[in-house]
C-alpha cells in the first residue's frame, strides 16, 4: 500500500459493540473454542482520584474518535499504536501524518488517564515505540461504566507476557483482514474477539458449555453483499501442545453435533487455525502435524478446517475476493 492510500475506518469505531450482522444477527453470543482462559487485566495506575465533576469535564471534551479509540481498546483488551492507527487514523494523506496524529491523540489520552501503557515493553518485531501496549486506565474505565452501568470494574492484575502476545496477535490478524479487504475491495462485516464471540449451549449430555474462539470473522465479497463467509479463528503461537489443539477441535465438533449453530444461522462457520511460532521450521512442523492428525481422524470433517501461517491467514481466507 502506498503512502497515499488509506484504509476504510477500522473496526470497531464505537465504544459499544456494533449490531450483529448476517450470521450473528439471529441470536446473541459469539463463537467458539476454549482458549487461553479469562483475560487478566492490569489495574489503573496509582494517582489522585478524579472527582465526579472532573470526570464529567473530561468526558465532555472527548471526540467521537477518542471514544472510538477507547472502544477499540476495550474490544481487544490490549492494542499497540500501530493497531489503533489502522483502526481509526485512516483519513490522512500519508502514513506519516496518520502516525503523528495517532501519537498525539494517544499521548493526550494517556495524560487524561483514559488509556495507560503496560510497565514493560514488548520486544522483537514490536520493539521501539510500537512496544508500548495500551490498556484502559482508571478514567477510561469510569467513563465506560457510566455509559454502561452493568459493566464491572476492571481488577488490578498484571497480564502475563504470553497472554499479551496472544492478544496482540489476534489484533494483528484483525488488522490484516482490514488491509486485505481494502486491497481486494471486499468487506469485513464483523470482527469479534473471544469475549464477544462466545457460544453458550447445552451439550448432548445436558451439560452447559461455552465455546470460545479467539476471533469470529464475517467477510463479504462486495461491500453491502448480504451473503457472508463466516469463520471461527484460533490463533496458535506454539505455546500449547498439539493434543491441546486437538482438544479444541473436539470442542468445536461437540458444538457442531448439537445442531444449534445450523438451527440459528443456517450454516456452521469454517474453523481456521492461524499458526505461528518463534522458529519457522517449528511453525511449519506444527501446522503439518495438526493437518495430519485432523486428516487421519474420523472425528473431524477435514473439509471444515483450514490451517495457515498466521501472516497468510487473512489473504488465504479472502482468496477469490479480488475485483481487479
146 pLDDT band, cuts 50/70/90, is: confident
Query: Does pLDDT of 136 surpass 70?
Result: yes
Query: Does pLDDT of 128 surpass 60?
Result: no
* Burial per residue of 6-32, b for 16 or more beta-carbon CB atoms within 10 angstroms, e otherwise: bbebbbbbebeebebbbbbeeeebbbb
Strands 229-236 and 270-275: parallel
Q: What is the CATH code for 52-158?
A: 1.10.10.10
**At which residue does the C-alpha cell 508500548 appear?**
132
Pair 234, 310: CB distance under 8 Å: no
Q: Using CA atoms, how far apart are residues 99 and 117, in angstroms rounded to an integer?
A: 18
Q: Using CA atoms, how far apart are residues 137 and 177, in angstroms rounded to an integer?
A: 28
Q: Using CA atoms, how far apart are residues 321 and 324, in angstroms rounded to an integer?
A: 9
Provide the pLDDT for residue 108: 96
| Whole-number average pLDDT of the chain | 83
Pair 288, 309: CB distance under 8 Å: no
Which of 5-14, 219-228, 257-266 shows the lowest mean pLDDT across its residues?
A: 5-14
Query: Does pLDDT of 21 surpass 50?
Result: no
The helix-helix angle for 81-88 and 64-76 (nearest 10°) equals 130
In percent, how much of the chain has pLDDT > 70?
80
What long-range pairs does 173-176 form, CB within 8 A, spacing at least 24?
173/215, 173/233, 173/235, 173/274, 173/310, 173/313, 173/314, 174/11, 174/76, 174/83, 174/215, 175/10, 175/82, 175/83, 175/86, 175/87, 176/311, 176/313, 176/314, 176/315
Query: Does pLDDT of 218 surpass 90?
Result: yes
Collect all residues with Cβ–Cβ distance below 8 Å to 248 and sequence separation of at least 6. Answer: 33, 34, 35, 234
131 pLDDT band, cuts 50/70/90, is: confident
Average pLDDT estimate for 123-142: 74
Provide the pLDDT for residue 279: 74
Q: Delimit the domains of the chain by residue range.
A: 52-158, 164-317
Strands 229-236 and 208-211: unpaired
Which of 92-96, 227-231, 265-269, 294-298 shows the lowest mean pLDDT across its residues?
A: 92-96
Amino acid at each position: 500500500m502506498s503512502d497515499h492510500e488509506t484504509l476504510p475506518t477500522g473496526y470497531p469505531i464505537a465504544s459499544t459493540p456494533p449490531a450483529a450482522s448476517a450470521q450473528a444477527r439471529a441470536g446473541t453470543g459469539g463463537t467458539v473454542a476454549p482458549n487461553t482462559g479469562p483475560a487478566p487485566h492490569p489495574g489503573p495506575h496509582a494517582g489522585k482520584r478524579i472527582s465526579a465533576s472532573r470526570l464529567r469535564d473530561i468526558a465532555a471534551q472527548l471526540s467521537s474518535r477518542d471514544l472510538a479509540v477507547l472502544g477499540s481498546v476495550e474490544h481487544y483488551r490490549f492494542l499497540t499504536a500501530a493497531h489503533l492507527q489502522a483502526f481509526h487514523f485512516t483519513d490522512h494523506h500519508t502514513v506519516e501524518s496518520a502516525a503523528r496524529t495517532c501519537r498525539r491523540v494517544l499521548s493526550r489520552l494517556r495524560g487524561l488517564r483514559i488509556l495507560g501503557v503496560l510497565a514493560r515493553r514488548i520486544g522483537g518485531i514490536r520493539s521501539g515505540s510500537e512496544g508500548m501496549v495500551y490498556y484502559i486506565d482508571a478514567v477510561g474505565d469510569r467513563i465506560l461504566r457510566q455509559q454502561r452501568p452493568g459493566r464491572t470494574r476492571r481488577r488490578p492484575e498484571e497480564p502475563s507476557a504470553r497472554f499479551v502476545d496472544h492478544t496482540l496477535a489476534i489484533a494483528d490478524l484483525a488488522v490484516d483482514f482490514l488491509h486485505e479487504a481494502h486491497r481486494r475491495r471486499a468487506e469485513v462485516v464483523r470482527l469479534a474477539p473471544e469475549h464477544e464471540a462466545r457460544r453458550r449451549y447445552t451439550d448432548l449430555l445436558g451439560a452447559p458449555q461455552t465455546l470460545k474462539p479467539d476471533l469470529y470473522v464475517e467477510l463479504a465479497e462486495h461491500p453491502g453483499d448480504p451473503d457472508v463467509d463466516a469463520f471461527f479463528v484460533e490463533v496458535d503461537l506454539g505455546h500449547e501442545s498439539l493434543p491441546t489443539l486437538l482438544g479444541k477441535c473436539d470442542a468445536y465438533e461437540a458444538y457442531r453435533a448439537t445442531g444449534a449453530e445450523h438451527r440459528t444461522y443456517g450454516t456452521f462457520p469454517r474453523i481456521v487455525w492461524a499458526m505461528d511460532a518463534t522458529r519457522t521450521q517449528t511453525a511449519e512442523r506444527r501446522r503439518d502435524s495438526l493437518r495430519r492428525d485432523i486428516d487421519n481422524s474420523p472425528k473431524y470433517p477435514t473439509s471444515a478446517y483450514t490451517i495457515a501461517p498466521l501472516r497468510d491467514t487473512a489473504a488465504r481466507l479472502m482468496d477469490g475476493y479480488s475485483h481487479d
